[in-house]
Amino acid sequence: MNLRSILVLLSTSSAALAVTEYDFYKDVYPFLKANCISCHNKTTTKADLNMETPALMIKGGENGPSIVPGKSMQSLVVQASLHQHDMEMPPGNNKSGAVNLTPAEIAILKQWIDQGAKDSVIQERTVVLKEFAASVDPIYTVAMTKDGRYAACGRSNQIFLYDLATRQLVMQISDPAEKNGAAHRALVQSLAFSPDGTRLASGSFREVKIWKMSTGKPAANGAKTTSAPASADLIKKIATTGKVVVVSSAMSADGKLVVTGCDDGSVRVWDAATAKPVIELRGSVATTKKMAELDWTIAAQTLEQAFQKSEIARIEAQDKALDVLLGKAKEAIVTMKKVLPEKQKAVPPTTEAKTTAQKAVDEVAAKIKAVPDGKPDAALDKELKTAQDKLITAKMTEVSALAAVSAAESNVKDAEADVKRITDSKAANAKAVTAANAAITAAKTAQDKATADLAALKQSLTKTTTKPVAVSFSADAQRVASLFDDGTLRVWAAATGTPIEESGANVAATTTIAAAPDGSFVATKASTQTVGTTLRWTLERKIDQKGLFADRVNAVRFSPDGKTLATGGGELSRSGDIIFFDVATGKATHTWKEHHTDTVLCLDFSPDGKRLASGAADKIARVTDIASGKQVNLFEGHTHHVMGIAYRSDGRVLATAGADGTVVTWDMIIGERKKKIEGWTKEVTSLQFIGATNQIVTSAGDNRVRIVTDDGAEVRSMANLPDYMQAAVSTPNGATLIAGGEDSVLRVWDGTNGKEVAVFGSK
């Protein structure tokens, strides 16, 4: 359509719509937002023009007002929309996906301007979300409890919970108010478990929900079954192959596995067809927890030693530089003190010469004064001029000599000050090295003790004094129970050997174990004891007050003490908001509106809980003191969105993940960049420090889950994944990694070797 046709259409449309009074936010703002405001807003103010309100458009930019109320054809925005006067709005091949306004839209814009370009009030409208297609189920977020027992992922608007010990789906967490078992109306954007693992926070479009875990005894069920013991021949074969003495045994329901209780106190699972060992089950929930604590201590003290050693190396390098400066300062003192006497000796002759020259000037001046009528002849004038020139020279010579003395004395004083400053610095460094060595010694002592305690604990598991008098499989063979001769009933996950439950040794020895369909076990003789809990996650609180969240809640994070929940979001290209909530009441305690100039994508609390690190689409990472709201650090190192942020366990290093395909680590002691880590070909979508180590697990759009150190060395890479990976997390000891992405599959790896151990699909 040519310009003439457009003008005719506009003229016709204007005439037809002349009686319509247009509302800015209802009729004009929608097409401006889609095609103009993406480049002309308070964050991206191209040509210094902001088009978010009529007042700002009237104010205009580099080329003056973009609209002239009552005069649409004189308004630059209309001229640019019509591509007049070499103007074109929006420009071709723009990155925002903006397109030319349609003739109808230009007609509305023109009419609104002719009517005075009046402002209006934004009308809050309820967003009606349509149901998702079955194919829309990407995983944008994953979370794992600190003990590594449970993992959660969001698929579409649903949340799924998995038991990583048994490698089974536990349940789909749902809100009864939503349809089809959904947790939210819109996509699940963010998830986080509380530190104790009893709460799960989820963020979606304009709402946050907190889910609470509850456990209870299973309902009474009469359909309990007792696992049949293995045949005598199979037990004999197992005893011969494994070189064990079998005390008790049981077959799985499908006959593929055998569990035995042995006289060495162990419980072992065997392949029934080959009599080969599958897994050995030892320990308890308490010992597993204690081992995790010792693992953390060992890692933390290893990290502490590495840090202190790096500090010593830094100080030693600094001392070498100081030694060079000290040598130069001492050399300067010797040199200056050596020449100072000569320079001082040169002053008196110059002073005497000045005095003589002054006397000569005075004598000539007296002669001139004595001349009758005060009119000296040319000879006296010349004599006076000569005497004065000599006096000037004498004074300059004296000044130069005095300056040389002063400079030498000043150089000596400065050099002596340098010696003191350098000596003080070296003394302070010596104290710092002493403190660092003391810290290394203390860390090494703590590490050695934890290592010895861990070894002793592991050794104790092989020398148990109690014997398993009865064993049983659950109906699905995913759990194994054993009753010991002291009355203790323990349950393990068969897939991983993880102890998951136990009862106290307060019952007389029993000899039979029955398994219920719900996974619980009942041991019976003179008295009965039951092991097994029913796990439920229910909605504790929904936070969705009107106007609280501008758009998607992209990040949720519990404070280290679990009492505060921080949320991050905002309106894309306009604002980045952070809101804190009291977990117990759900009330907002701090609100940081427009903390970033674009939507907040990631959050992390400092280990002491006093500061919050945030990353946003504005390419910025900030660290803020929570109590005062004051900015502590601002880090600019990414050229694209900051998609992930995490503190190291000691708080000395912060890591950020960028959509520019890099990870940047920041030294929080000096507030500067530590290392820019490359090697990704697409966006790094998430990151997390692994426990108390310097290792970082990352997910990325280049189909990899990659582990690197904060100095940039690669530890391991799970490559050739089938689709874009959106999120990854690790257990504190690095033993288990999980990640999810666009293909809706939650993957689980053994973190020690990178072997994939479980895959959970959406169906």
Which of 162, 163, 159, 190 minimizes the C-alpha distance to 173? 159
> What is the predicted pLDDT for the residue at 1?
43
Compute the CA torsion angle 100, 102, 107, 113 (nearest 10 deg).
-30
In CATH, the number for domain 140-216+539-760 is 2.130.10.10
In CATH, the number for domain 287-457 is 1.10.287.950
What would the mean pLDDT of 570-582 be, rounded to a whole number?
93
Q: What percentage of the chain has pLDDT greater than the value 70?
A: 91
Least confident of 40-49, 363-372, 510-519: 510-519
**Cβ atoms of residues 160 and 760 within 8 Å:** yes
Give the type of residue at 700: A
> What is the predicted pLDDT for the residue at 383?
87
pLDDT at 181 over 70: yes
Least confident of 36-50, 169-183, 503-517, 705-719: 503-517
Quote the mean pLDDT of the chain: 89
Q: Which CATH architecture has domain 219-234+248-282+464-518?
A: 7 Propeller (2.130)
Give pLDDT tens digits for 737-748.
999 999 999 999
> What is the predicted pLDDT for the residue at 377?
81
Strand partners, 198: none
What would the mean pLDDT of 543-559 be, rounded to a whole number?
95
Give pLDDT tens digits for 50-104.
888 889 888 988 888 889 999 989 888 888 888 887 777 788 777 667 888 898 9
Which of 559, 558, 577 minimizes the C-alpha distance to 568? 577
Give pLDDT tens digits for 504-517.
655 555 567 777 77
Which residues belong to CATH 1.10.287.950 in the chain? 287-457
> What is the predicted pLDDT for the residue at 64?
87
pLDDT at 17 over 60: no
Give pLDDT tens digits for 286-326.
999 999 999 999 999 999 999 999 999 999 999 999 999 99
Integer CA distances (angstroms), 56 to 164, 231, 358, 663, in order: 55, 86, 77, 38
Per-residue tokens: 556: 């949720």
> What is the predicted pLDDT for the residue at 669?
95
What would the mean pLDDT of 661-687 be, rounded to a whole number?
96
* Residue bearing the bigger pLDDT, 96 or 269: 269
Distance separating alpha carbons of residues 193 and 159, to the nearest angstrom: 13
Which residues belong to CATH 2.130.10.10 in the chain? 140-216+539-760, 219-234+248-282+464-518
Determine if residue 217 is left, alpha or beta; phi over 0 gives left, psi from -120 to 50 gives alpha, anything else beta. Answer: beta
How buried is 594 (Cβ within 10 angstroms: 0-12 exposed, 13-18 middle, 19+ buried)?
middle
Strand partners, 267: 261, 281
What would the mean pLDDT of 103-108 be, rounded to a whole number?
89
What would the mean pLDDT of 215-237 be, rounded to a whole number?
74
